[in-house]
């Protein structure tokens, strides 16, 4: 049996581990070996402790052997973006300001992972404070290109086969865009499903947890393990969560109807993106309706920027005040600009976000999902000093809608481009069902 | 379709509700009607809000109709002992000291219930501060008898068909004993599975959450909904929970082996209890091994008392200091006695508890479960001014072992007596599997 992630799904691994036909120790050792052989080039990991990883894996195997309770991710290694607090590893948030910082408590996501029996081999690289300034991580498909950001290391680690699953975050497009650039599945569940307790705050209204995987069903399994109410997170809600894996496994009641929106930023899409999406629409035929995006989409993009600016300026008060010299020039100029936002601008933007949510509530009565690019095109070159343009994610992130990026297209340089699927708030199960239907549909087209 | 709990299991109701063939509104209305018709005699409820209950039920039905996420207890009413904090209802802890007290936040258990889609129709009567002094609640099988305590109202409400499920607690025998007296299923999961955040503290080491139901599988379903790590509860552990319903539904790999311990307090058992247990052992034949309880069981009972005394004296500091006159005579004399415990006695008792846990860890390598009475006999008469003797639960509660009471016997006055099944720590799934096997076995004996 191969121990390479990608060879088997996480669900298959968990079954084998629970049946005693595979061990977490072997799976994690295989992951560590692949990290050793390729992370020198890629730089996906910032903290890695082989002993901790193997000892967690061995302990998972021991628990199973002794008949103790097992979890839905028993023995599966999951990479964690370095803005998520962990007791076992430093959490340095991609900045020298927090060099050597050791949290006293795990974040909610890591608690949930441990409850699900997962193994945490280490922390993945984040751009500075999960913001704009790129980290050193390289795209596993081409070391001359960025993996995207700010969840650079998590996306690269999954794409390189270091781990089958990883955790990132998204405030603009920090999960969907790196998933697109790295040719893997990215999933940002609806706002409020997963607690952000113990995650570095940039924008309290917009920050969300994002997931990466080599397989869509595995990402659904991961989302099920992470969901849950947390009174300490103001976006967390007290009601049942969508059942992610059930959604993924469900058959569609009728063939889904997609919406393609002609967007105000479509002129930024690369020719390969435009062509790939044209082909996809053509294959889907009458199952896609092509419509103009409403005019207020332009305003929504502006609202997102206002809210992000206003809140990151507040949330980075400590870094601004006490550590200005340790910030990158990118962060400094970003903060200088952000500081100019007024409170009334901000309140208007928050109100506009509310109206947009209502609009989407109506919109998704008629459509199962929006089809839209995950990113403008392939990953930019590292020499461009950017992790890429998040514009393709802005509106959906603002509204807290569930988004999935699937690695369906290729660009001019042969690098991956993702296609993004967006559904109504809290209809993550339906989005997973629709996305799986689409994967099957595309498979059947190829045969 | 009947709307009487007991006619259908909760699992069946949830299926019907999710299929749109039943509504939570009808189910909850039926419960409220039964409460109206019989709670004047029984007195199981201390706070009940018909409007809140119906509005929660209607909202569950609406969510389902609109295709929003649903939970494993969608639309099911669950009664909550009045020591568990709730935002929607006062939480008065069975004492005038806390008359009108309105918590700011729901306890962890209520949060989990809301996440599972349950409805909270109100709060059930607890004995004073979940301790010894009886409340006014009567046993639904005979209004001259106690329902047991301290979870008096929760057990009585389930037994009377007011609600199909209810939440209680157990520090001595406050779940298993009332379940026994009221002829229903009681389940105290392993210590640390369910968070006690927002529950009145009597003994921080011994307090545990307990569950009541008319059906064992439903109680397993409820336990699945409630389990989860909580860093704010010092007994909560960060590892996978046993899968309760899966355990209940699983077939036994081989016929289980039970242990019957001859206990130092067996002289307190009523003749009907002794006879019923004799018959059960006879029916099981070579599947029960009868052995002497180890000598240190006597010490364990003393350890339990020391820990309980020491910790309740500390935890009731405020009530002792500021509200002495509002305490019952029972509580006053209990506190006067409890205050005499020394710190060294306490530390020795804690150490002894640790040794006992190790001993049981070994013991359950050879046995699937201990069979033992849930209570000495039938419910005492109200005129005796006691909720009954908790001795049958003391050792297992001390060690945090999972315990199930099943309504298998009847006493001299025709009142129910429960039989208790106890398994190894965190082997709650195995305990449920074994208990269900036993129910099937007894059914097959009757046919």
What does the pLDDT profile of chain A (447 residues) look like in tens digits? 334 545 899 999 999 999 999 999 999 999 999 999 999 999 999 999 999 999 999 999 999 999 999 999 999 999 999 999 999 999 999 999 999 999 999 999 999 999 999 999 999 999 999 999 999 999 999 999 999 999 999 999 999 999 999 999 999 999 999 999 999 999 999 999 999 999 999 999 999 999 999 999 999 999 999 999 999 999 999 999 999 999 999 999 999 999 999 999 999 999 999 999 999 999 999 999 999 999 999 999 999 999 999 999 999 999 999 999 999 999 999 999 999 999 999 999 999 999 999 999 999 999 999 999 999 999 999 999 999 999 999 999 999 999 999 999 999 999 999 999 999 999 999 999 999 999 999 999 987
Residue B3 has a pLDDT of 42
Cα distance between residue B377 and residue B182, in whole Å? 12
The CATH number of residue B226's host domain is 3.90.1300.10
Cβ-defined contact of B240 to A427 (cutoff 8 Å): no
* Shared domain check, A271 and A218: no
Which residues of chain B does A111 touch, with a Cβ-Cβ cutoff of 8 Å?
Answer: 229, 231, 238
A265 shares a domain with A226: no
Rounded to an integer, what distance in angstroms lies between the CA atom of residue A47 and that of residue A88? 10
- In this complex, the residue of B106, B111, B426 whose CB is nearest that of residue A69 is B426
Q: Are residues A218 and A327 in the same domain?
A: no
| SS (HEC) of chain A | CCCCECCECHHHHHHHHHCCCCCHHHHHHHHHHHHHHHHHHHCCEEEECHHHHHHHHHHHHHHHHCCCCCCCCCCCEEEEECCECCCCCCCCCCCHHHCCCCCCCCCHHHHHHHHCCCECCEEECCCHHHCCCCCCCCECCECCECCCCCCHHHHHHHHCCCCCEEEEEECCCCCHHHHHHHCCEEEECCCCCECCCCECCCCCCCCEEEEEECCHHHHHHHHHHHECCCCCCCCCCCCCCCCHHHHHHCCCCCCCCEEEEECCCHHHCCHHHHHHHHHHHHHHHHHEEEEECCCHHHHHHHHHHHHHHHHHHHHCHHHHHHCHHHCCHHHHHHHHHHCCCCHHHHHHHHHHHHHHHHHHHHHCCCCCEEEEECCCCCCCEHHHCCCCCCHHHHHHHHCCCCEEEEEEEECCCCCEEEEEEECCCCCHHHHHHHHHHHHHHHHHHHC
- The CA distance from A202 to B336, in Å, is 54
**Cβ of B444: how many Cβ atoms within 10 Å?**
8
Q: B45-48 and B122-124: which strand pairing?
A: antiparallel
Give the Å distances, CA to CA, from A266 to A28, A358, A371: 42, 24, 13
Please check whether residues A179 and A95 belong to one and the same domain.
Answer: yes
Euclidean distance between the first and the last CA atom of chain A, given in angstroms as a whole number: 28
Two tokens at B59?
């909202």
Chain pair A-B, CB pairs under 8 angstroms? 71
In a domain, A154, yes or no: yes
Q: What is the pLDDT of residue B446?
A: 82
- The closest CB to that of B231, out of A69, A105, A231, belongs to A105
Does residue A108 belong to any structural domain of this protein? yes
Closest-CA distance, B237 to chain A, in angstroms, reads 9
Q: Write out chain B residues lying below 8 Å of A239, CB-based.
A: 63, 68-69, 71, 114-115, 117
Asked if B228's CB is within 8 angstroms of A429's CB, the reply is no
Which chain A residues are Cβ-neighbours of B229 within 8 angstroms? 111, 114-115
Task: For residue B111, give how far its alpha carbon lies from the nearest alpha carbon of chain A (Å).
Answer: 7
Give the DSSP H or E segment for B258: strand B258-262
Contact A118, A78 (CB under 8 A): yes
In angstroms, what CA-CA distances link A58 with A13, A113, A119, B155, B229? 15, 16, 10, 43, 22
Nearest CB among A70, A106, A241 relative to B69 is that of: A241
Per-residue pLDDT at B7: 81
| Secondary structure element (H or E) that encloses residue B75, with its range | none
Token pair in block for residue A284: 């889907």
What pLDDT is stored for residue A3 in this prediction?
Answer: 43
Q: Which residues of B sit within 8 Å Cβ distance of A? A: 63, 67-71, 74, 105-106, 111, 114-117, 228-229, 231, 238-243, 426-427, 429-430
Interface of A with B (CB under 8 A): 63, 67-71, 74, 105-106, 111, 114-117, 228-229, 231, 238-243, 426-427, 429-430
Q: Is residue B37 part of a domain?
A: yes
**Count of Cβ atoms closer than 10 Å to residue B34 Cβ:** 18
Per-residue pLDDT tens digits for A357-366: 999 999 999 9
Same domain, A214 and A266: no
The Cα A130–Cα A157 span in angstroms is 17
Domain annotation covers residue B1: no
The pLDDT of residue A222: 98
Residues in chain B: 447
Q: Are A40 and A76 within one domain?
A: yes
User: Can you say how many angstroms the Cα of residue B262 is from the centroid of all Cα atoms in its chain?
Assistant: 24
Closest to B165 in 3D by CA, of B318, B302, B28: B28
- Mark whether A228 and A279 lie in a shared domain: no
In A, minimum Cα distance to B56 occurs at A239
Residue B189 is classified by DSSP as: P
The per-residue pLDDT for A7 is: 81
The CA distance from A20 to the nearest CA of chain B, in Å, is 17
- B-chain residues near A74 (CB < 8 A): 240
Does A22 fall in a domain? yes
Residue A241 lies in a domain: no
Assess if residue B326 is contained within a domain.
Answer: yes
Angle value at C-alpha B210, between B161 and B31, nearest 5 degrees: 20
Token reading at B30: 């039926």
A63, A115, A426 member nearest B229 (Cβ): A115
Q: Do A240 and B115 touch (CB under 8 A)?
A: yes
Q: How many CB atoms lie within 10 A of CB B271?
A: 10
Structure-token match 């809000």, residue found: B49
Q: Answer yes or no: do A323 and A178 share one domain.
A: no
pLDDT at position B447 is 73
Q: Are residues A47 and A92 in the same domain?
A: yes
Q: B240 and A71 in contact by Cβ < 8 A?
A: yes
Residues in chain B predicted with pLDDT less than 50, given as ranges, are 1-3, 5
Q: Do A229 and B116 touch (CB under 8 A)?
A: no
Here the ipTM equals 0.90
Beta bridge partners of B371: B260, B421
- Domain encompassing residue B206: 8-447
Q: How far apart are CA B379 and CA B299, in angstroms?
A: 27
Q: Would you state the pLDDT for residue A1?
A: 34
My answer on whether A267 and A210 are in the same domain is no
Nearest CA in chain B to A430: B67
Q: Report the domain count for chain A.
A: 2
Per residue in A146-170, pLDDT (tens digit) is 999 999 999 999 999 999 999 999 9
The CA-based angle A108-A120-A158, given to 5 degrees, is 105
Residues A226, A285 within the same domain: no
> Radius of gyration over alpha carbons of chain B, in Å?
21
Point out the residue among B69, B231, B429 whose CB comes nearest to the CB of A240.
B69
* A275 and A188 housed in the same domain: no
Write phi, then psi, for A390 (nearest 5 degrees): -85, 5
Chain A residues with CB-CB distance to B242 below 8 A? 69
Closest-CA distance of chain B to residue A106, Å: 9
In a domain, A433, yes or no: yes
Chain B residue numbers with beta carbons less than 8 Å from the beta carbon of A71 are 239-240
**Chain B positions in Cβ-Cβ contact with residue A117 (cut-off 8 Å):** 239-240
User: Which residue in B105, B242, B426 is closest to A231 by CB distance?
Assistant: B105
Could you tell me how many helices (H) and strands (E) chain B has, helices first? 15, 11
Indicate which of B116, B240, B365 best probes the interface with A, i.e. most A CBs within 10 Å of its own CB.
Answer: B240
């Amino acid at each position: 049996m191969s121990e390479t992630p990608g060879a088997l799904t996480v669900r298959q691994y968990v079954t084998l581990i629970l049946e005693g036909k595979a061990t977490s120790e072997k799976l994690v050792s295989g992951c560590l070996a692949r990290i050793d052989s390729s992370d020198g080039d890629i730089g996906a990991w910032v903290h890695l402790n082989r002993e901790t990883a193997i000892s967690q894996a061995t302990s998972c195997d021991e628990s199973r052997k002794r008949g103790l309770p097992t979890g839905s991710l028993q023995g599966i290694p999951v990479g964690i973006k370095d803005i998520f607090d962990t007791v076992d590893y430093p959490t340095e948030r991609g900045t020298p300001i927090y060099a050597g910082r050791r949290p006293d408590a795990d974040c909610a996501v890591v608690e949930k992972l441990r409850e699900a029996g997962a193994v945490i081999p280490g922390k993945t690289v984040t751009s500075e404070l999960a913001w704009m300034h790129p980290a050193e991580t390289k795209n596993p498909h081409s070391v001359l290109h960025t993996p995207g950001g700010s969840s650079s290391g998590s996306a690269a680690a999954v794409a390189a086969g270091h781990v089958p699953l990883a955790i990132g975050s998204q405030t603009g497009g920090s999960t969907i865009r790196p998933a697109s650039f790295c040719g893997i599945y990215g999933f940002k569940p609806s706002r409020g499903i997963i607690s952000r307790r113990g995650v570095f705050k940039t924008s309290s209204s917009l920050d969300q947890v994002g997931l990466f995987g080599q397989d869509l069903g595995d990402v659904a399994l991961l989302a099920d393990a992470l969901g849950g109410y947390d009174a300490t997170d103001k976006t967390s809600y007290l009601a049942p969560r969508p059942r992610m894996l059930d959604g993924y496994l469900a058959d569609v009641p009728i063939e889904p109807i997609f919406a393609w929106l002609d967007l105000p930023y479509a002129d930024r899409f690369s020719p390969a993106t435009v062509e790939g999406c044209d082909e996809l629409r053509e294959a889907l035929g009458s199952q896609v309706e092509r419509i103009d995006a409403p005019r207020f989409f332009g305003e929504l993009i502006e609202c997102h920027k206002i809210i992000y600016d206003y809140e990151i300026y507040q949330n980075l008060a400590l870094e601004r005040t006490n550590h200005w010299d340790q910030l990158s020039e990118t962060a400094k100029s970003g903060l200088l600009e952000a500081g100019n936002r007024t409170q009334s601008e901000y309140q208007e933007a928050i109100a506009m976000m509310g109206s947009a949510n209502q609009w989407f509530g109506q919109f998704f009565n008629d459509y199962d999902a929006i089809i839209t690019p995950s990113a403008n095109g392939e990953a930019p070159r590292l020499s461009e000093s950017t992790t890429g343009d998040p514009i393709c994610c802005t509106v959906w992130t603002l509204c807290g809608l569930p988004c999935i990026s699937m690695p369906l297209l290729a660009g001019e340089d042969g690098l991956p481009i993702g296609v993004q699927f967006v559904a109504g708030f809290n209809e993550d199960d339906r989005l997973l069902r629709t996305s799986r239907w689409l994967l099957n549909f595309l498979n059947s087209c190829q045969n």
